[in-house]
Amino acid sequence: MMTKPYGKPGDVTELVSSLGWMEEDLSSQDGDRTPEIGHYALHRSNREELGSEDMEEEEEEEEEDMGLDGEKAPKRRGPKKKKMTKARQERFRARRVKANARERSRMHGLNDALESLRRVMPCYSKTQKLSKIETLRLARNYIWALSEVLDSGQSPESNGFMEMLCKGLSQPTSNLVAGCLQLGPSTMVLNKMDEKCGVPGAGGPQGHPISYPSPGLPSPPYGSLEASHLLHLKSFKGTAYENSSPNECSSGTPPYDGPLTPPLSISGNFALKQEPSPHEAERNFTPHPAHATHYISSHPYPPTSLAGLPVPQGHPLFPGSRYELPLEMAFEPFAPSHIVTSQMSSIYSE
DNA sequence: TAGGCCATCTGGTCCT
DNA sequence: AGGACCAGATGGCCTA
C-alpha cells in the first residue's frame, strides 16, 4: 500500500469544508475540463486544498499551544505569518485556479508542438499516435538518419536508413517503422503521385511484389512514411522522377494535412478490424519484428559524424545522455523535411 | 490485473 | 506579485 507523500487524512469536517471551495473551483473551470479533475480533488486532503501556506499557519497556531507529545512547545521565532483571512484564502484559491489554467494551457501548447512533430515523422497516423517519448526518440533518429543521407549519401531506402530510424525505439514502434519501410517509399510515393498527378507506372519496391490497394479495398493496417517526405526522398532516387522538383505535385496541398494512413497495426492488433481481402492476405502486411530488431542490434550507434562534422563524445543528441537534448536544440535545427530533402535533392542532382 | 501512457493538480524555484 | 517552468503525485483509460 502506497502512502501518500503529502496530505494527512482529513476527517469528515475537513472533507466537507474542502468540498466547499472545490465547488467554487469547479464552477470556475473552463467548460472543457475533464471529469477526473473533480475526482482528483476529492483525494486531496484539506491540507493541500488550503495550500501549504495556509496549513503552515494553522499548524503553527496549533503548535504554539501543544507540542508533539502534548507538552507546551517553545514559541517559534521569526516573523509571524499573516493571519489567513477569508479574503486571503479566496485570493489564494483564485491564484491557484489561474495557475492551473495556465499550466493546462502550457501543456496543451507542448502537446500541440509534439503533435506537429509527429506529423513530420515517418509513420504518422492520426489514429495511432506515437507516444511522446517514442515521438522524441524517432525524431532524434530521423534527424540522424537524414543527416547521414546528406553526409554519406546513404539511400533513404537502404537498410541502414531503417536501422537508424529504429535505433532505441520500442518494439512496437520499431515494427511500425519497419513495416512502413518494408512497404517501401517507392510504392507509397509513386501511388501518392499517381493519385495526385496521374503519373503512370507506379510500382512496388524491388523484392516486394506489393500492389497498393485499390480505392475500394481496405488499406494496409500500418502507418506510412509521410508522403510529403517520401516525395522528396524519391526525387533523387534516380527513377522516372529524378528530374522533378521535390515539391512538384505536392505544392498545391498542405504538406501535413489529411489522413495519410488508416488505423495502424501494432503487434498485429488493428485499431480498425477489417476482413482482409485475398490480395491483402497475399501481401503479408504483418510487421517484421525480427527484421527491425536485427537492424537495431547490428548498426553502430551513435554515428561518428553528422553532416560532415564530427560528433563529440557524449553529444546530447545521442543515447547515454539521458534525454538531455533541450527542446530548442532538438527541434530548431530540424528544418522541415521539405527543406532538408530538397537540399538532398539538389545534392543528388549535381 | 499489472503496466504504460496520459492529463491534471500542485508546490517549489527562478525570473521579470 | 505574478508568470513560466519543472517535477512529483494521482487517477483514468487502455492493452497485453
Question: For residue range A228-240, what is the model confidence (pLDDT) as tens digits?
Answer: 444 334 333 332 2
- Helix ranges (DSSP H) in chain A: 12-28, 36-42, 46-50, 52-65, 86-119, 132-152, 159-166, 171-183, 185-197, 227-235, 278-283, 289-298, 327-331, 337-349
Nearest residue to nucleotide C6, by CA–C1' distance, is: A103
Q: What is the C-alpha to C-alpha distance for residues A173 and A107, in angstroms, rounded to an integer?
A: 24
Using the structure, give the distance in angstroms from the CA atom of A1 to the C1' atom of B2, rounded to a whole number.
Answer: 15
Instruction: For residues A58-82, give the mean pLDDT.
Output: 43
The cell for A11 is 476527517
A41 touches strand B (CB under 7 A): yes
Is residue A94 pLDDT above 70, yes or no?
yes
pLDDT of residue A119: 85
Distance CA A178, CA A288 (A): 6
Average pLDDT, chain A: 49
pLDDT digits (tens, 9 = 90+) for A186-240: 333 323 333 333 323 222 232 222 222 222 222 233 334 444 444 334 333 332 2
A7: left (phi over 0), alpha (psi -120 to 50) or beta: left
CA A122 – CA A117 distance, rounded (Å)? 10
Nearest-nucleotide field for A108 (CA, C1'): B7
Question: Which nucleotides in chain C lie closer than 7 A to a protein CB?
Answer: 2-12, 15-16
- Angstrom distance (rounded) from CA A140 to CA A324: 12
Q: Which of A79-88, A172-181, A209-218, A293-302 has the lowest mean pLDDT?
A: A209-218
Pairing between strand A265-266 and A269-270?
antiparallel
**Omega before residue A302 within 30° of 0, cis:** yes
Confidence (pTM): 0.48
Q: Is the CB of A66 under 7 A from strand B?
A: no
Distance CA A283, CA A213 (A): 10
Q: Is A163 exposed, middle or buried (0-12, 13-18, 19+ CB in 10 A)?
A: buried
Q: pLDDT higher for A168 or A332?
A: A168
- Say whether pLDDT at A48 is over 80: no
Residue A266 has pLDDT above 70, yes or no: no
pLDDT at residue number A82: 62
A107 touches strand B (CB under 7 A): yes
Q: Which three cell numbers stand for residue A238?
A: 534516380
Confidence at residue A41, expressed as pLDDT on a 0 to 100 scale:
41
Range among A28-37, A69-78, A88-97, A209-218 rated most confident = A88-97
Give the length of chain A.
350
CA distances A97 to A18, A45, A69, A94, A182, Å, are 15, 17, 37, 5, 50
